Every structure is written in structure tokens, then in C-alpha cells.
């Protein structure tokens, strides 16, 4: 089984993100592997363990994104490829999907591509399905459980109404949710191996495409006004008294 | 502006945000509803009642289950023949895929999970939260049609006008999918957290009721989960009196207390209820960003220093196992239930 895990590097979830001169600033918060993509790597590694084969982590980004790839290697991925090109400065989701589809074709012989359900930064959750559509492969989104038997793939998708069991044939594209299982911690050996790894960088000409034109663009960035709420602590001598005061306060808000 | 509105539904149950999208489309001009599935008469009538003048229906036994590829092919073909300026969809797990695939077919872009949409100088300008609501961005799409998905409860829901009629048009269903639906395990949750106007949520604190004696023969983990389930019963009782949904923090989901579909926060669902009651939730930043657009937040926690109080309008420092039943009783009385 040749498995690809598509990952992205983002600012840490604790980062205080702000708009500064029309640019996004996350201060000195560290850049990390997109937390949703850790589940993608975990899902990919589970299938590698069950089926044999290799996991290759792929990331579009700047040189710094090699750190996110090293995390995927430390978790147990076999290979990592950084896709980096100055012409990729402005990239929307369908652009990213075109690049990833071309990379997957160039790698060749891929059975399974695993994405996280969305990124922490843009949060669109579109790229997996767009990549699948470009490749012409089946898309099984929001998988919470994956079973592979020979060339057939069965997943349990976590949807609004519960779980849906869907089957298809490989090759296929998946996105996974956290029911897949907590991402493993990198082992000591894994971290050592990752720190020494030479991660290849592919430019767009290496991939054999030119930069896709962006169709979606940002025209303004807004820092939402901070919500100044003062918390009113409800007093009372007994749970019943507190409950009654709180009930009256909530009813007065007219939100019910 | 000419808009197609995709009415997302599961076995005839419409995601209410679809009607909100229909309302937005009507305010922009000519709006046609699009419904895929099998046996769609009731849905078609509902679409007329919520304001559609025309309903385009791909009604085919082969469309009974949502299939990403088949639905995308059907929507793309429809868009090619009708040339709308805009395709609106409610944001759901299905429509993110459907919008994504259709955008590739039509070589256009998707403006996803919008909380605002305006036409400025003839151009559609979308507002959407990014970084899980820490920032907002305004975006435009240069492709045509523009595909946009709207966040649930971000736009007003149009009034339903009984027995309103319009023209129903059958369109061709493209049924060739690449995957097969084998079955479902449906959750019993009466209200999903994304659509709920009231959410009562539980965190790690719901497992800490010392006064309970668990059944014999349970190991430590089983005991913890059993305790948490007793706690979530109290959460559920209040939610049911308020006609709301049950939510949970990541800690509660990771602890195995409640399924992932209830999780609110950065790695779960971003919600925008009118009332959010957090019980035994400390208020990690990842949880807070998920409830940023809640109108009124109430926090019940033993720890007066819990960060959840910083974003709450009302707080109760106390034992949720005593407060919750009292609150449920009190609402029952006041609401006459």
C-alpha cells in the first residue's frame, strides 16, 4: 500500500491571532503541524500497520514547513516531500488541490490519500474533495473508521445524523476525523530519525505544472471586536435559590 | 442576481440552514431551489412555502442516498444549463464536499461557511470567520458561478407561508457514483448542536459526582464513564426542558463519555446558539473559540478561577450536580412544562 498523508503547517491553536496592517500575525506563537492533520498521519500509519506499505507525508509550504513534515516522520511516516515554490504565494483551495493532485500523480502508484478534515487557519475543509475530483477518485469524507480488504475500502463517516458506512475501491481519497484515534506521540527513535532526515523539496517545475491562478481572494481582514463580558456571579443560599435567580436572568435575556 | 439554492437534507429531513440560504437568495433576486433524492414531493412543497418560486428536482431512486460524485455531477450539469450567478448551500458535512467537487467541475471557487454576504458594486462580497473565529475575512470569487456555503443560524430564516405554490421542474439525475452506501448508525440526538438555539454542554466535571456509588465489578475507567453518563443525564434533562441540544467539551469526548458528534470547539463544531450553558467545563481556548458567537453564555463550575467565567455572562460557582437539577426544576415551572 502506498499511502500519502497531506498535511499543512499552521500557527499553534493557542496563538493570539490578529490582523496587522492587512496581514495575519500570530506573534511569537510556534508553527506546528495542523492538529487535524495529525489525525491524517495517524490514520495513514494505522493502515500501513494493517496492510504493509509506506506512508509519505506531503506538505505545500515554505522551508519552515519542513518542521511539520519532520513531525509526521517522527510519528512514523517513511518519507516526506515539501512542495515549495515562490509562485505559490497566493494559493486558494482549488489551487492547492491542483498542485496536490499533480504531486500524487507524479509519485505514482498511490492507493490511498489521507487528509485531515480541515485546517486550523483557513478552515475551509474543501481541499480533500477538490483533490479527489481532479484525480477522478472516490472521495470519502469525515471517516471515523477505516477498513481495507484487498482493493476494497470501507469507512464509517461521521455525519450530522450519525454514522454512514460507505464502501469503494482503491485508489481513493479520505478525510479523517478524530474518532480515528488519538495521534501517537513521536517515539524517541522517531524523533532522532526525523531530525536527521533530508527532506526533498519539489518546485512546481519538478511537479510539471505551472502555478494555478487563484479564484478566491481576500480583500479585507478584520479583527473581531473583543467581547467585553463581565460575568455576573449568581448569589444564593441554596441550589434552588441560585437556580431561581438564574432562571429569571436567562428569561429576561429573551433568548428562549 | 440569479441564484440556485441547494436544499440539503437527510432522508427528507432538511438542514434548516437551507431555508436560511433560500431567504438570502430571494433577497438578491431570482431564486430557484434545487433538491436531489427520491420521493421529494413534501420537500418540494416546503421549498415553495419557504419562498422558492421554482424548484428544480432530480428525483430518482438512484439518488436516494447522498453520493458525493453523483450529486456533484448532477449539480454541475444543472449549473451549466441554467447559468446562475450564484449557487448557495447551507454549510454541512455533505455540502462542503458537494461544493468542493462542483467547483472543480465548473472551474470556479467556493466561499465557505459564510456569516455575511453582501453585493457591493455588483460583486458578491463574503464575510467568514478564519482561525476558528479569531479573525474575520472578506473574500471575493472571480469564477462564475460563485459557489458559497452559509453557516447555520448566521442568516434569518424566512417565514413559512402555508400552501404557497410555484413551478416544479424535473431535471436529469446523474446517478453514477464511485462509492456505495452500506448503511447507517443514526444518533438519537433530537437536536444537533450546529442548528440548536440552546445548547447545554458538559465537560470533565460531569464525571466528578462523589455521592454516586457505581455498580459493582467496574474497573476504574468504566467507573469514570458510568459517573460521567450520570452527569450527562442531568445535562440532557436541562437541554430537553429548554428544547436544546447536548454539547460536550473535548475532554468529555476524549474521556469516552459521549460521542464526537456532540463536541463543541476547535476540533469539534463551531456553534452559534442564543443560549449556551457550560457545565463542568473549564474553558480551554479551543473550547472558547467554538462558542464565540453564542449570544448568552452561562457557566457552572466549582472552580471560581476557571477561564470559562471570563466569557460567560452569568456564572454559578458551585456543584453542578446540585445546581443542574434545581435549574431544570425551575425552568420546568417557569416555562409551564
| Residue of chain A with shortest Cα separation from B98 | A129
CB contact under 8 A, A247 and B260: no
Q: Are B153 and B17 in contact (CB under 8 A)?
A: yes
For residue range B125-151, list pLDDT tens digits in order.
999 999 988 899 999 999 999 999 999
Q: Which residues of B53-66 are buried (b: 16+ CB within 10 A; e: fewer)?
A: ebbbbbbbeebebb
Grade residue A159 by pLDDT with cuts at 50, 70 and 90: confident
**Residue B162: inside a domain:** yes
Contact residues on chain B for A178, CB-CB shorter than 8 A? 253, 260, 267
Architecture of domain A2-207: 3-Layer(aba) Sandwich (3.40)
Among residues B186, B193, B206, B198, the alpha carbon closest in space to that of B256 is found at: B206
Q: Are residues B108 and B7 in the same domain?
A: yes
Which member of A15, A220, A232 has the closest CB to residue B137? A220
pLDDT of residue B188: 61
| Interchain CB distance below 8 Å, A219 and B326 | no
* B204 and B124 inside one domain: no
What is the β-pairing status of strands B13-14 and A31-33?
unpaired
Chain B residues touching residue A248 (CB < 8 angstroms): 334
Q: What angle do CA B114, B119, B125 make, to 5 degrees?
A: 40
Best interface-test mutation with B: which of A11, A42, A215 has the largest number of B CBs within 10 A? Answer: A215
Interchain contact B83–A (C-beta under 8 A): no
Q: Verify whether the Cβ–Cβ distance A129 to B192 is below 8 Å.
A: no
Read off the pLDDT of residues A9-46 as tens digits, 9 standing for 90 and up: 999 988 889 999 889 999 999 999 999 999 999 999 99
Q: Output the 3-class SS for chain B.
A: CEEEEECCEECCEECCHHHHHHHHHHHHCEEEEEEEECCCHHHHHHHHHCCCCEEEEEECHHHCCCCHHHHHHHHHHHHHHHCCCEEEEECCHHHHHHHHHHHHHHCCCEEEEECEEEEECCEEEEEEEEHHHCEEEEEEECCCCEEEEECCCCCCCCCCCCCCCCEEEECCCCCCCCEEEEEEEECCCCCCCCCCCEEEEECHHHHCCCCCCCCCCCCHHHHHHHHHHHHHHHHHHHHHHCCCEEEECHHHHHCCCCCHHHEECCCCECCCCCEEEEECCCCCHHHHHHHCCCCEEEEEECCCCCHHHHCCCEEEECCHHHHHHHHHHHHHHHCCC
Cβ distance A242 to B316 less than 8 Å, yes or no, reads yes
H-run or E-run covering A173: strand A172-176
**Nearest CB to A122: which of B13, B100, B130?**
B130
ipTM above 0.85, yes or no: yes
pLDDT at position A225 is 75
In this model, does residue A158 exceed pLDDT 90?
no
Q: Do B140 and B43 fall into the same domain?
A: yes
Give, as one character, the DSSP assignment of residue A88: G
Q: What pLDDT is stored for residue B192 in this prediction?
A: 78
pLDDT at residue number B134: 86
- Asked if the structure places residue B46 within a domain, the reply is yes
DSSP assignment of A219-241, as one string? EEEEPPPP-----EEPP-SSHHH
Please tell me whether residues B203 and B165 are part of one structural domain. Answer: no
- Identify the CATH number of the domain in which residue B153 sits: 3.40.50.620
Residues B35 and B133 in one domain: yes
Cβ neighbours of residue B92 closer than 8 Å, sequence gap 6 or more: A160, B8, B15, B17, B194
Inter-chain touch B296–A253, beta carbons under 8 Å: yes
Residue A124: the pLDDT is: 94
B192 domain-assigned: no
Whether the Cβ atoms of residue B318 and residue A237 lie closer than 8 Å to each other: no
Q: Do A239 and B322 touch (CB under 8 A)?
A: yes
Q: Largest Cα–Cα distance of chain B, in whole Å?
A: 70
Same domain, B149 and B222: no
How does pLDDT run across A183-241, given as a tens digit for each residue? 999 999 999 999 999 999 999 999 999 999 999 999 999 988 776 688 999 999 999 99
| DSSP class per residue in A136-163 | T--EEEEEEEEEEETTEEEEEEEETTEE
Residues in chain A closer than 8 A to B266 (CB atoms): 13, 35, 120
State the residue range of the domain holding B237: 198-334
Q: Is B133 in the A-facing interface, judged by CB distances under 8 Å? A: yes
Helix, strand, or coil (residue A83): strand
Task: Specify the residue for cell string 484525480.
Answer: A135
Alpha-carbon span B258 to B248, nearest angstrom: 7
Pairs of residues, one from chain A and one from chain B, whose beta carbons lie less than 8 Å apart: 264
Beta-carbon-side half-sphere exposure of residue A176 (alpha carbons within 13 Å): 33
B149 and B221 belong to one structural domain: no
Query: How far is it, in rounded angstroms, from Cα A179 to Cα B260?
Result: 7
Same domain, B265 and B133: no
Among B153, B170, B187, which residue terminates a domain? B170
Query: Cα(A146)–Cα(A114) distance, rounded to whole angstroms?
Result: 11
Q: Please name the residue of chain A whose CA is at the shortest distance from the CA of residue B328.
A: A243
Examine residue B212 and state whether it is found in any structural domain, yes or no. Answer: yes
B147 touches chain A (CB under 8 A): no
Query: Model-level pTM?
Result: 0.90
Number of domains in chain B: 2
Residues B227, B165 share a domain = no
Q: Name the 3-class secondary structure at A211.
A: coil
Closest-CA distance, A169 to chain B, in angstroms, reads 8
Interface test with B, best of A101, A138, A160 (most B CBs within 10 A): A160
Whether B247 maps to a domain, the answer reads yes
Q: Which of B125, B150, B170 is the last residue of a domain?
A: B170
B203 and B134, same structural domain?
A: no
pLDDT at B189: 60
**Residue spans of alpha helices (H) in chain A:** 35-51, 66-75, 93-107, 127-135, 188-196, 204-207, 239-252
Give the pLDDT score at B127.
97
Question: What pLDDT is stored for residue B190 in this prediction?
Answer: 57
Residues A105-114, mean pLDDT to the nearest whole number: 98
Report if residue B186 sits inside a domain.
no
Cα separation of B153 and B244, whole Å? 14
B112 and B16 together in one domain: yes
- Average per-residue pLDDT for chain A: 95
- Give the whole-number percent of chain A exceeding pLDDT 70: 99
* Residue B145 and residue B25 in one domain: yes
B213: domain CATH number? Answer: 3.40.50.1220
Of A93, A121, A162, the CB nearest to B185: A162
Q: Report chain B's C-alpha Rg in angstroms.
A: 22
Decide if A141 and B10 are in contact by the 8 Å CB cutoff.
no
How far apart CA A79 and CA B103 sit, in angstroms, is: 31
- Chain A contacts in chain B segment 49-68 (CB below 8 A): 68
Residue B100, in any domain of the structure: yes
pLDDT in tens, A70-86: 999 999 999 999 999 99
Q: With respect to residue B272, please indicate whether it lies within any of the assigned structural domains.
A: yes
Please name the member of A142, A158, A247 whose beta carbon is closest to the beta carbon of B327: A247
Low-confidence ranges of chain B (pLDDT < 70): 188-190
Amino acid at each position: 500500500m502506498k499511502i500519502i498523508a497531506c498535511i499543512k503547517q499552521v500557527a499553534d491553536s493557542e496563538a493570539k491571532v490578529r490582523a496587522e496592517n492587512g496581514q495575519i500575525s500570530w506573534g511569537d506563537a510556534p508553527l506546528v503541524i495542523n492538529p487535524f492533520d495529525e489525525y491524517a498521519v495517524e490514520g495513514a500509519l494505522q493502515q500501513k500497520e494493517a496492510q504493509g506499505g509506506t506512508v509519505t507525508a506531503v506538505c505545500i509550504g515554505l522551508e519552515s514547513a519542513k518542521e511539520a513534515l519532520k513531525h509526521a516522520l517522527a510519528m512514523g511516516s517513511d518519507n516526506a516531500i515539501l512542495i515549495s515554490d515562490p509562485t505559490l504565494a497566493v494559493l486558494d483551495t482549488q489551487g492547492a488541490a491542483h498542485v496536490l493532485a499533480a504531486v500524487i500523480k507524479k509519485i505514482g502508484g498511490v492507493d490511498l490519500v489521507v487528509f485531515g478534515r480541515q485546517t486550523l487557519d483557513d478552515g475551509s475543509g474543501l481541499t480533500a474533495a477538490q483533490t479527489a475530483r481532479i484525480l477522478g477518485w472516490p472521495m470519502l469524507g469525515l471517516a471515523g473508521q477505516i477498513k481495507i480488504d484487498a482493493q476494497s475500502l470501507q469507512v464509517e463517516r461521521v455525519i450530522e445524523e450519525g454514522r454512514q458506512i460507505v464502501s469503494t475501491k482503491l485508489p481513493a481519497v479520505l478525510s479523517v476525523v478524530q474518532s480515528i484515534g488519538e495521534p501517537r506521540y513521536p517515539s524517541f527513535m522517531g524523533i532522532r530519525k526525523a531530525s536527521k532526515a533530508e527532506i526533498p523539496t519539489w518546485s512546481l517545475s519538478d511537479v510539471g505544472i505551472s502555478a494555478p491562478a487563484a479564484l478566491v481572494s481576500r480583500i479585507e481582514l478584520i479583527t473581531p471586536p473583543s467581547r467585553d463580558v463581565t460575568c455576573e456571579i449568581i448569589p444564593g443560599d441554596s441550589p434552588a435559590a441560585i437556580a431561581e435567580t438564574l432562571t429569571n436572568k436567562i428569561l429576561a435575556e429573551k433568548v428562549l | 442576481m440569479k441564484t440556485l439554492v441547494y436544499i440539503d437534507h437527510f432522508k427528507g429531513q432538511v438542514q434548516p440552514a437551507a431555508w436560511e440560504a433560500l431567504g438570502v437568495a430571494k433577497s438578491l433576486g431570482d431564486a430557484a431551489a434545487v433538491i436531489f433524492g427520491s420521493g421529494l414531493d413534501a420537500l418540494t412543497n416546503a421549498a415553495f412555502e419557504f419562498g422558492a418560486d421554482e424548484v428544480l428536482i432530480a428525483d430518482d431512486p438512484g439518488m436516494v442516498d447522498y453520493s458525493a460524485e453523483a450529486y456533484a455531477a448532477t449539480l454541475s450539469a444543472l449549473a451549466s444549463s441554467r447559468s446562475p450567478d450564484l449557487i448557495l448551500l447551507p454549510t454541512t458535512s455533505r455540502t462542503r464536499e458537494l461544493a468542493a467537487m462542483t467547483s472543480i467541475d465548473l472551474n470556479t471557487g467556493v466561499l465557505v461557511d459564510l456569516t455575511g454576504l453582501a453585493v457591493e458594486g455588483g460583486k458578491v462580497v463574503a464575510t467568514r470567520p478564519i482561525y476558528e473565529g479569531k479573525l474575520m475575512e472578506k473574500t471575493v470569487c472571480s469564477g462564475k458561478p460563485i459557489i458559497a456555503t452559509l453557516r447555520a443560524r448566521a442568516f434569518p430564516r424566512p417565514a413559512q407561508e402555508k400552501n404557497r405554490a410555484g413551478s416544479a421542474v424535473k431535471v436529469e439525475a446523474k446517478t453514477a457514483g464511485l462509492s456505495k452506501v452500506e448503511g447507517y448508525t443514526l444518533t438519537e440526538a433530537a437536536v444537533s448542536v450546529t442548528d440548536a438555539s440552546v445548547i447545554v454542554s458538559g465537560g470533565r466535571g460531569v464525571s466528578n459526582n462523589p455521592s454516586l456509588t457505581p455498580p459493582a465489578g467496574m474497573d476504574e475507567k468504566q467507573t469514570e464513564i458510568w459517573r460521567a453518563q450520570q452527569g450527562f443525564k442531568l445535562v440532557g434533562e436541562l437541554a430537553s426542558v429548554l428544547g436544546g441540544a447536548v454539547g460536550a467539551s473535548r475532554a468529555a469526548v476524549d474521556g469516552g463519555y459521549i460521542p464526537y458528534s456532540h463536541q463543541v470547539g476547535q476540533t469539534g463544531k463551531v456553534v452559534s446558539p442564543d443560549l449556551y450553558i457550560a457545565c463542568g467545563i473549564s474553558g480551554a481556548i479551543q473550547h472558547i473559540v467554538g462558542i464565540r458567537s453564542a449570544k448568552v453564555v452561562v457557566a457552572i463550575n466549582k472552580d471560581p478561577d476557571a477561564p470559562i467565567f471570563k466569557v460567560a455572562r452569568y456564572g454559578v460557582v458551585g456543584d453542578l450536580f446540585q445546581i443542574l437539577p434545581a435549574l431544570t426544576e425551575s425552568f420546568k415551572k417557569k416555562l409551564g412544562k
